[in-house]
Amino acid sequence: MSGNGTPLLEIKNVSKFFGSVIAIQDVSAFVRAGEVTCLLGDNGAGKSTLIKVLAGVHKPTEGEYFFDGQPMNFSSPRDALDHGVATVYQDLAMIPLMAVWRNFFLGAEPTKGWGPFKRYDVDFAKETSISELGKMGIDIRDPDQTVGTLSGGERQSVAIARAVYFGAKVLILDEPTAALGVKQAGVVLKYILQARNRGIGVIFITHNPHHAYPVADHFVILRRGTVYGDYTKEELPLEQLVQMMAGGADLEVLQHELEAASREGEEGADVLAETAKKIGSELEELGE
Amino acid sequence: MTTETAPATAPAPPSDERVRKVGALSRLLVRPEVGAIAGTALIWLFFAIVAWDNNFASWVTTAAIINRAAPLGILAIAVALLMIGGEFDLSIGSIVGFAGMTIMILVFPTEGGGFGWSLWPAILVALVFAMAIGLFNGWLVIATKLPSFIITLGTLFVFRGLTIAVTRLMTNRTQLGGADEVSGFGLADTLFASEIKVFGASFRISIIWWIGLTALATWILLRTKQGNWIFGSGGDANAARNQGVPVSRTKIALFMTTAFAGFLVAMIQVVQFTGADTLRGRQQEFFAIIAVVIGGTLLTGGYGSAIGAFFGALIFAMVQQGIIITGVDGDWFQVFVGGILIIAVIFNNFVRAKAAQR
Q: Looking at the DSSP assignment, which residues form a beta bridge with residue B141?
A: none
B232:A107 CB<8 A: yes
Query: What residues of B are in contact with residue A81 (Cβ under 8 Å)?
Result: 244
Nearest to B244 among A92, A107, A145 (CB): A107
Domains and CATH numbers, chain B: 59-353 (1.10.3470)
pLDDT level of residue B135 (50, 70, 90 thresholds): very high
Question: For B267-310, what is each residue's pLDDT tens digit?
Answer: 999 999 999 999 999 999 999 999 999 898 988 899 999 999 99
**CA gap A180, A210 in Å, rounded:** 13
pLDDT level of residue A246 (50, 70, 90 thresholds): low
Per DSSP, the three-state class of A146 is strand
B40: nearest Cα among B350, B319, B348 = B319
Statement: residue B328 has pLDDT above 50? yes
Statement: residue B352 has pLDDT above 80? no
Q: Looking at the DSSP assignment, which residues form a beta bridge with residue A65?
A: A11
Statement: residue B73 has pLDDT above 80? yes
Nearest to A95 among B223, B235, B352 (CB): B235
Q: Looking at the DSSP assignment, which residues form a beta bridge with residue B177?
A: B275
At A264 the pLDDT is: 61
Question: For A187-198, what is each residue's pLDDT tens digit?
Answer: 888 888 888 888
At B312 the pLDDT is: 93
| Helix pair A238-246, A248-263: axis angle to 10 deg | 100
Q: Classify the C-alpha dihedral B323-B328-B333-B339 as positive or negative.
A: negative
Statement: residue B77 has pLDDT above 80? yes
**CA gap A8, A31 in Å, rounded:** 6
Within chain A, how many helices (H) and strands (E) appear?
10, 12
* Higher-confidence position of B356 and B49: B49
User: How large is the average pLDDT for residues A41-65?
Assistant: 84
B245: nearest Cα among A104, A96, A106 = A106
* Higher-confidence position of A274 and A108: A108
Statement: residue A7 has pLDDT above 70? yes
The residues, any chain, with a CB within 8 Å of residue A65's CB and separated by 6 or more, are: A10, A11, A14, A53, A71, A72, A73, A74
Strands (E), chain A: 9-18, 21-31, 36-41, 62-67, 70-71, 85-88, 111-112, 119-120, 170-174, 201-206, 218-223, 226-232
Best mean pLDDT range from A49-63, A242-256, B113-127, B320-334? B113-127
DSSP states of B238-298: HHHHHTT--HHHHHHHHHHHHHHHHHHHHHHHHHHTTEEETTTTTTHHHHHHHHHHHTT--
Statement: residue A3 has pLDDT above 50? no
Other C-beta atoms lying within 10 Å of the C-beta of residue A15: 18
Question: For A67-83, what is each residue's pLDDT tens digit?
Answer: 888 888 888 777 888 88
Model ipTM over 0.85: no
Chain centroid, CA B144 distance in Å: 25
Helix H segments across A74-206? 77-83, 100-104, 122-135, 152-165, 182-197
Alpha-carbon separation of residue A287 from A40, A223, A249, A282, A283 (angstroms)? 12, 7, 14, 9, 6
> Cα angle vertex A55, ends A154, A15, to 5°?
135
Find the largest Cα–Cα distance for chain B: 92
B11, closest residue in chain A (CA to CA): A137
With 0-12 / 13-18 / 19 or more C-beta atoms within 10 angstroms meaning exposed / middle / buried, residue A62 is exposed
Other C-beta atoms lying within 10 Å of the C-beta of residue A105: 23
* Higher-confidence position of B18 and B224: B224
**CA gap B142, A264 in Å, rounded:** 63
A106:B19 CB<8 A: no
B86 has a chain A CB within 8 A of its CB:
no
At B325 the pLDDT is: 86
A219, A205 contact by CB (below 8 A): no
**CA gap A280, A176 in Å, rounded:** 21
* Higher-confidence position of B206 and B336: B206
Nearest to A120 among B4, B228, B240 (CB): B228
Side-chain half-sphere CA neighbours of B303 within 13 A: 24
B356:A148 CB<8 A: yes
**CA gap B34, B27 in Å, rounded:** 11
The residues, any chain, with a CB within 8 Å of residue A47's CB and separated by 6 or more, are: A39, A41, A175, A205, A207, A222
B246, closest residue in chain A (CA to CA): A107
pLDDT level of residue B90 (50, 70, 90 thresholds): very high
Question: For A12-50, what is each residue's pLDDT tens digit?
Answer: 888 888 888 888 888 888 899 889 999 888 777 888 888
Q: Which of A52, A81, A97, A164 to mutate to test the interface with B (most CBs of B within 10 A)?
A: A97
Question: For A152-210, what is each residue's pLDDT tens digit?
Answer: 778 888 888 888 888 889 999 888 888 777 777 888 888 888 888 888 999 998 888 88
What H or E segment, with its residue span, contains residue B201?
A: strand B201-204
A102:B228 CB<8 A: yes
